[in-house]
Structure 1
Amino acid sequence: MKGNTKSVADLCLKLQDHALHVITVTDDTVLHMATYAKEASLVEQLLDELPDHHLDKLTRQNGVGNTILHETATSNHTVAIARKLLKKAPGLLGMRNHNGETALFRAARYGKTDMFDFLATRVSGYDESGLQFYVQRSDKTTILHMAILSLHFDLAYQIASKYEHLIGQRDGD
């Protein structure tokens, strides 16, 4: 994709599913691949050109259950894209991948503080029990556990300060 962004965008306009066309054996779409390639401007362009009747397909998951928001959550440079995605498909915020992780969880896993802060504001209206869905995987591992395991100690401190109820929680192990 590097250097071929115009060609990619032009091709997507010709496809029935546009940028949501599946192009890998693991069910990645053009948008997934543009996100992996860190082509933020291409991702924004593809989202802008996506017809409204395809917006329901933004929740499409790849072979490991990741949505485009899950992939976007692994970078601090894509907060604007995450904002645009959530405006077009708010349901993405509550989707889990096959590991039971939300996009907020992935931001914690990869230590992406800016992205984490943005996504955390999007779930800030929930009470403690409502938050659990976003901050804990199905195996009981929390965003605090993951930030520590991934050696993102500044983010772990931030999480412990903001979500004190996670401090004493045990994971599934």
Structure 2
Amino acid sequence: MADINYTAQRGRNRDLCNALMGKQDKEVIRVCRDLPEGPLRRIGANNDTVLHMAAHSEQSDLVLELLKLLPGNRSHGLVDIKNNAGDTILHEVATSDNMIGVGEKVLKRDEGLLFAQNDSGEMPIFVQPAMAKL
């Protein structure tokens, strides 16, 4: 039974990665709705969540839709969701000038993200100086 679950999870992760890379927003959202962890599902080799990967690939509309899938009680815990480099979702958003509006929405979910340090000691406001204006 464990092997079947493991195989199914790997298949679902692969499908999610392919949908993300193919910018198939509707498919990503559909799959995330069916997952217990939703868009916080770890799918990348770097222990990225679906949200990390969508933000890193500058899919702003998808990130905003995925944020809506998070339950209200998860709002103030995003600061604890980090990948293997210690990057939060806001670190990923901060790498692009095109994602400033998304950064505002992410910060509304958890203001603590602004000063969260990754494993290199970087905060999102230093990764992207424009974040300091938020």
In structure 2, how many angstroms separate the alpha carbons of the residues matched to 1:22 and 1:34?
12
Aligned residues: 113
Contact (CA 8 Å) 2:58, 2:93: kept in 1 or not? no
In structure 1, how many angstroms separate the alpha carbons of the residues matched to 2:77 and 2:132?
24
Report matched runs for 1:32-71 at 5 Å. 32-59=52-79, 60-71=81-92
Q: In the alignment, which of 37, 50, 63 is matched to residue 17 of structure 1?
A: 37
Cα-to-partner distance string for 1:53-93 (whole Å, 9 max, x where unaligned): 22244221100000010010011111111101111100001
Higher gyration radius (CA)? 1
Residue 102 (structure 2) aligns with: 81
**Long gaps (5+) in structure 1:** 108-115, 123-173
- The TM-score, its normalising length taken from structure 1, stands at 0.62
Residue 113 (structure 2) aligns with: 92
Contact (CA 8 Å) 1:20, 1:58: kept in 2 or not? no
Task: Give me the identity figure in percent.
Answer: 36
Higher relative contact order (CA 8 A, sep 6+): 2
In structure 1, how many angstroms separate the alpha carbons of the residues matched to 2:42 and 2:23?
21
Contact (CA 8 Å) 1:65, 1:97: kept in 2 or not? yes
In structure 2, how many angstroms separate the alpha carbons of the residues matched to 1:72 and 1:93?
11
Q: One-letter code of the match for 1:100?
A: G
In structure 2, how many angstroms separate the alpha carbons of the residues matched to 1:3 and 1:18?
18
Residue 133 (structure 2) aligns with: 121
- The TM-score, its normalising length taken from structure 2, stands at 0.78
Query: What is the CA distance between 1:9 and its match in structure 2?
Result: 0.5
Report the structure, 1 or 2, having the larger helix content.
Answer: 2
In structure 2, how many angstroms separate the alpha carbons of the residues matched to 1:42 and 1:20?
13
